[in-house]
Amino acid sequence: MKKVRVRAWRNVIAVLSAVVMLLSGCAKKTESSENKLIIGYAEGVTAVEDPNAFSNMLDQAYEDSQQSGIALEYKNVAYSSNGFDFSCYFANALDNQYDMFIAVYADDALTDQVFLSELIRPGSAFDHITLTHALPPGTNKCTVAFTQIEVVDGEQMIRDQALIGVEFHVGT
C-alpha cells in the first residue's frame, strides 16, 4: 500500500509560467549586430494600478501551496480472473478533509472510463470494483483519478485531483 501527499505547488508554477509566457510572448525580440538576443520594451502598455498586486498574488499562491493537498492511499496492482471484477485497494485516506470519487481509465487519453465511483468519505476504501466493460487478459496499465470534492455555496466543486498509474492484471 502506498501513501502519497500531493502538494498544490501548481498555483505557484502557474503564476510563474504566466509571467514567463508574458515576457516571452508579448515582448519584441530583436538581434543586435553581435547576434545576441535583446528583448525590447513593449509599446502601448499602461501603469500598474496596484504595485503590490503581483507580490500579493505570489504570496497567496505560496500560501495555497502549503495546504495539505490530497493524501493518497492505494495498492498499485489490481487482480481479476474475468476482466470485470477486480480485487484492489483505493482509499480516501483518513488524513483527507474532503469526500472524493475515484475513476479508472483504460487508456492514456483518459477517454475509456471503465469505473466511476460515487463519493466516499475520508477513511473509506474500495477493496473490490466491477468495471463497465472487461479488460483483456494480461497486464493492463490504467490511470486512476482521485478527485476531491468541496461544497461551495451549496454546489459541489472539484477541490483537487491526483492521477496515478495502476496495473490491472487479468488472468487465472
Quick: pLDDT tens for 17-46. Answer: 555 555 555 444 555 556 777 888 888 877
All domains of the chain in start order, with CATH: 7-65 (no CATH), 70-170 (2.60.40.2550)
Question: What sections of 6-130 are H helices per DSSP?
Answer: 10-26, 53-65
pTM of the model: 0.63
Backbone phi, then psi, for 43, in 5-degree steps?
Answer: -105, 155
Q: What is the pLDDT of residues 87-140, one digit of tens each?
A: 999 999 999 999 999 999 999 999 999 999 999 999 999 999 999 999 999 999
Amino acid, single-letter form, for residue 85: D
Helix 53-65 and helix 10-26, axial crossing angle in degrees, nearest 10: 140
Classify burial at 90, counting beta carbons within 10 Å of its beta carbon; exposed 0-12, middle 13-18, buried 19 or more: buried
Residue 171 vs residue 27, higher pLDDT: 171
3-state secondary structure of 39: strand
